[in-house]
């Protein structure tokens, strides 16, 4: 296949002629060989190829997909610009194939009133990046979990949902109010389900690895109890507020997913996402294993799979990397639709916050640039179809946000797409990451699917240097 592009990143309209690529179009439920032409940033023509024209084109080479949407990222600005800024976060997003990113409100000051939201939008505008940033407002003032933030004003200013991510709304009455109020405003409440009374001082998923390493256990039940509470409250709230919607973010355990599966069967308006690291990695990585979840046995000591030093703080994350069976359940939930989306929970941190004792390290993985690679590993292992995986990065998150997805490849629409080479493996190095957060446990790994090109809203967002 050939790709002809002009002009370069930062310029206005993308000009593209792609012939003989594998096009993945989740909105149409279709994938196959195609040609694509973009003129002045708009899709001019998409031609599905057949017969002799399609010869030799398969899903293992260059792939064109709609630009990805990330429901969960931390851009740290304002307040923590040494860890990330909106500009570096958007550059990282473009490098990872994301053209729309939802920024979490745990900045300093937090996004609990419209001024902070406008400040983030202004930073995005000043960055020159065409990647779209959407902002969640905080649920509670100062994210303190005591009284509601300025939800209506935030919604008027463009907040696409509300979340106290990382400081989960522990007060059940406040959670109930927030769910109803957000429902009235027509946006989802995005909850990070965790019962903090069960995770005080917790360091690693409770189980064999935590026991052996002497790490304080982080029980799966802390998440599952919160999911159960959230769903029980949702069931009540929707009777009064039929527009109420709950989105549960970074679900990580089998039992949580079973609860959500049942709630969906009961037609509750609940959605959820899963991170790439919770489906591909397990707590065995803390012991020094580097097996993907689908390769792991549950006992890295017995399997002889320990190849790295233990206590790598880049692996410290909330919720913690879980047991093998939980990661497998995450893959199953994505495959069967229980999980609506893949979200990165991109959480950049400085070396100061990570180059410390495991128990003192900040939670979070810088993950927006490695998401595609991890997911393609799962696809290569036969755990997800390519179409489903790309769907969970595109139409899935769009539905969660209530966006009626413009058909990505409809002629006349602004091009919002990425081109990646599934067979081109790239080495994750700190210097290769556009994010300021180098806290990736995948540093040193080779991942498939180098992103060649990202076009957001008709404009070039990222292009790999030729030659």
Partner 1 sequence: MSLAVPDEVGSALGTVVPSVEAAPETQSTGWRHRHLLDLDVVTWPEIELVMRTTDAMREVLGRPIPRVPALRGKSVTLLFYEASTRTRVSFEVAAKNLSADVVNIAVASSSVSKGESLVDTVRTVEALGADMLVMRHAVSGAPYLAARTFAGSVLNGGDGWHAHPTQALLDLYTMREHLPGGSVAGRKVVILGDILHSRVARSNIWALTAAGAELWLCGPATLLRGFEAWAAAGGAAGRRFTVTSSIDDALRDADVVMALRIQRERMAGGLLPSLREYTARFGLTRERLELAKSGALVMHPGPLNEGVEIAPDVASGPNSVITEQVTNGVAVRMAMLYLLAGAQAGGVASEESLR
Residues near partner 1 (CB under 8 A) are 203, 206-208, 210-217, 288, 298-302, 304, 306-311, 352, 355-360
Min dist CB 99 to partner 1, Å, is 38
d(CA 43, CA 58): 22
The residues near 353 (Cβ < 8 Å, ≥ 6 apart) are 83, 361, 362
- Residue 317 CB, nearest approach to partner 1 (Å): 16
Cβ proximity to partner 1, 197 vs 431, nearer residue: 197
- Nearest-approach distance from CB 356 to partner 1, in angstroms: 6
Report the residue number, 209 or 270, with the smaller CB distance to partner 1.
209
| CA–CA distance, 151 with 137 (Å, rounded to integer) | 7
Closer to partner 1 at the Cβ: 200 or 466? 200
Helix axes 324-336, 254-265, angle to 10 degrees: 20
| Sign of the four-CA dihedral 109, 111, 113, 114 | positive
Quote the DSSP letter at residue 303. H
Neighbouring CB atoms inside 10 A of 423's CB total 13
Q: Please, which residues bridge with residue 101 across strands? A: 70, 133
Q: How far is the CB of 349 from partner 1 (least distance, A)?
A: 14
CB of 19 to partner 1, least distance (A): 48
* Adjacent-strand bridge partners of 417: 66, 455
Q: For strand 204-205 and strand 217-218, is the pairing parallel, antiparallel, or unpaired?
A: parallel
Residue 200 or 465: the one with the smaller Cβ distance to partner 1 is 200
Q: Whole-number minimum distance, CB 430 to partner 1, in Å?
A: 16
> What string of DSSP letters covers 155-189?
HHTT---B--TTS----HHHHHHHHHHHHHHT--E
Kindly tell me which of 48 and 301 has the beta carbon lying closer to partner 1: 301
The C-alpha atoms of residue 51 and residue 257 are separated, in whole angstroms, by 43
Please confirm, yes or no, whether 345 is among the known catalytic residues. yes
Q: In terms of CB distance, is 357 or 466 closer to partner 1?
A: 357
Nearest approach in angstroms of CB 429 to partner 1 is 18
Q: Which is nearer to partner 1, 213 or 381 (CB)?
A: 213
List 70, 112, 164, 345, catalytic entry: 345
Contacts of 315 (CB under 8 A, 6+ apart): 281, 285, 286, 321, 365, 441
CB 250, CB 326: distance < 8 Å: no
CA 361 to chain centroid: 22
Contact 83, 409 (CB under 8 A): no
Enzyme catalytic residues: 345
């Amino acid at each position: 296949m050939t790709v002809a592009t002009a002009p370069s990143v930062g310029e206005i309209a993308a000009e593209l002629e792609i012939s003989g690529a594998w096009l993945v179009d989740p909105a149409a439920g279709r994938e196959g060989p195609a040609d694509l032409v973009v003129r002045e940033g708009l899709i001019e023509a998409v031609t599905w190829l057949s017969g002799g024209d399609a010869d030799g084109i398969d899903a293992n080479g260059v792939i064109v997909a709609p630009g990805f949407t990330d429901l969960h990222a931390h851009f740290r600005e304002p307040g923590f610009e040494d860890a990330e800024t909106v500009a570096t976060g958007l550059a990282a997003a473009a490098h990872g194939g994301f053209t729309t990113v939802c920024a979490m409100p745990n900045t300093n000051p937090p996004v609990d009133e419209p001024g902070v939201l406008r400040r983030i939008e202004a930073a995005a505008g000043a960055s020159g990046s065409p990647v779209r940033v959407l902002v969640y407002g905080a649920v509670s003032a100062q994210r303190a979990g005591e009284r509601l933030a300025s939800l209506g004003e935030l919604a008027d200013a463009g907040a696409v949902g509300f979340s106290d991510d990382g400081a989960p709304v522990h007060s059940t009455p406040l959670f109930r109010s927030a769910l109803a109020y957000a429902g009235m405003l027509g946006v989802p409440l995005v909850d990070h389900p965790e019962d903090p009374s069960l995770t005080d001082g917790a360091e690693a998923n409770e189980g064999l690895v935590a026991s052996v390493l002497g790490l304080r256990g982080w029980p799966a039940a802390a998440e599952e109890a919160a999911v159960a509470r959230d769903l029980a409250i949702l069931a009540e709230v929707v009777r009064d507020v039929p527009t109420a919607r709950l989105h549960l973010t970074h679900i990580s355990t089998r039992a949580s997913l079973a609860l959500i599966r049942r709630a969906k069967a009961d037609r509750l308006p609940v959605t959820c996402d899963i991170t790439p690291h919770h489906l591909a990695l397990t707590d065995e990585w803390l012991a020094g294993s580097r097996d993907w979840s689908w390769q792991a046995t549950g006992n890295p000591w017995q399997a002889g799979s320990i190849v790295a030093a233990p206590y790598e703080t880049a692996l410290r994350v909330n919720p913690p990397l879980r047991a093998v069976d939980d990661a497998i359940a995450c893959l199953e939930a994505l495959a069967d639709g229980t999980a609506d989306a893949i979200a990165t929970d991109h959480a950049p941190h400085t070396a100061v916050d990570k180059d410390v004792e495991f128990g003192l390290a900040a939670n979070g993985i810088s993950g927006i640039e490695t998401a595609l690679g991890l997911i393609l590993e799962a696809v290569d292992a036969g755990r997800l179809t390519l179409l489903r995986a790309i769907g969970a990065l595109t139409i899935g998150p769009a539905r969660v946000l209530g966006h009626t997805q413009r058909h990505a490849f409809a002629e006349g629409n602004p091009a919002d797409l990425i081109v990646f080479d599934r067979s081109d493996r790239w080495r994750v190095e700190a210097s290769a990451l556009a994010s300021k957060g180098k806290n990736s446990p995948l540093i040193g790994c080779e991942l498939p699917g180098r992103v060649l090109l990202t076009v957001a809203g008709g404009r070039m967002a990222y292009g790999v240097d030729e030659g």
